[in-house]
Structure 1
Amino acid sequence: MRRIDLITQACDPKTLTVGQLMQDALFTCTARTDALTIGRLMTKQNFGGLPVVAEDGSLVGLVTEYDLLQAMIEGRDLHKVLASEIMTTQPLAAQENMTLEEVANLFQDRYVTRLPVVRGKQLVGIVARRDVLHGYMKASAYWS
């Protein structure tokens, strides 16, 4: 669920934080999850990326559509390919206290569409460009 959907009163969009914009109902995988399972989950849920977490819930990577497509182009058997083999390690991540403007600039500057949100090393959410736009529009509707 988008946390921004819980906002019911006037809010200056400039004060919104990633913690308010992010989705906290997460789907994740482990480094040992096979690429076929990841691909099935991503297509079923309409995700463009899936965070990879360790047993303690810390973020260790991110598998994206790009990663899966690259493995397919290379002719690899997705049933035998593990997340650890194709994931981006040490992915760019957002912090809960980042402002809407800061995360929007990060999306634009780094050409990414979604970011895992971490508290320390713990994965606590995911924020996408559309969450930022949705939050801005929702807050603006009340603010105007």
Structure 2
Amino acid sequence: MRQTEYFLAACDPKTLTVGQLMQDAVTRCTPRTDASTIAHLMTHRNFGSLPVVEEDGTLVGIVSEYDLLQAMIEGRDLRKILATEIMSAQPVTVTEEQTLVQVADLFQDRYLARVPVVRNKKLVGILARRDLLFGYTKALQHWS
């Protein structure tokens, strides 16, 4: 859940941080999760990507719709492929302290739809373009 959903007073949208905007309940998978399971999770929950984490919560990659489609195009059986084989290792990440303006620029410059949020290399949330827009409009409601 986003902290911005609890805003009681408006604020300058430029002061919003990733920590306020991110979703902290993140569905994730492990490096050993098969691609078929990942595809099922993503399609049934309407996700565009799934973070890949070790048991201790360390982010090691991300599997996107692109990665799954590429495997399908190559004729690979998604039931026999592990996340570690198709994930993007070392994905672009952000921290909770970064501002809305900083991450909006990052999203635009890198053509990102969502980005994992990390603290000491551990996954703590995920931030989507939609979260930026949601937080921005909530903050603007009474701000002048």
State the TM-score bracket (shorter-chain normalisation): over 0.9
Residue pair 2:115, 2:128 contacting (<8 A) in 1 also: yes
1:47 pairs with 2:62: no
What letter matches 1:59 in structure 2? Answer: L
Secondary structure of residue in 1 paired with 2:103: helix
Q: Give the 4+ runs in structure 1 shifted more than 3 A.
A: none
Is the 2:10–2:138 contact (alpha carbons within 8 Å) kept by the matching residues of 1? no
Q: Matched residues in 1 for 2:140 and 2:46: separation?
A: 27
Alignment map for 1:1-144 (pairs within 5 Å): 1-144=1-144
* Helix, strand or coil at the partner of 1:25: coil
Task: State the SS of the aligned residue for 1:117.
Answer: strand
Residue identity in the other structure for 2:122: Q
Segments of 5+ residues of structure 1 without an aligned counterpart are none
SS state at 1:143 partner = coil
Q: Which whole-Å deviations, capped at 9, do the CAs of 1:34-86 have from their partners, x for residues lacking one? A: 00000000001100000000011010000000000000101100000000000
TM-score by length of 2: 0.98
Q: TM-score, normalised by structure 1?
A: 0.98
Q: Name the amino acid aligned to 2:78.
A: L
Q: State the shift of 1:143 in Å.
A: 0.9
Identity, % of aligned pairs? 67
Distance 2:41 2:63 in 1: 12
Preserved CA contact (<8 Å) 1:22 1:127? yes
SS at match of 2:78: coil
- Distance, in Å, in 1 between the alignment partners of 2:2 and 2:81 is 32
The one-character-per-residue Cα deviations of 1:92-121 (angstroms, maximum 9, x if unpaired) are 001100000000000000011000000110
What is the aligned residue count? 144
- Greater alpha carbon shift after TM alignment, 5-14 vs 64-73: 5-14
Does the 8 Å contact 1:29/1:50 carry over to 2?
yes
Long gaps (5+) in structure 2: none
Please report how far the alpha carbon of residue 142 of structure 1 lies from its aligned counterpart in structure 2 after TM superposition.
2.2
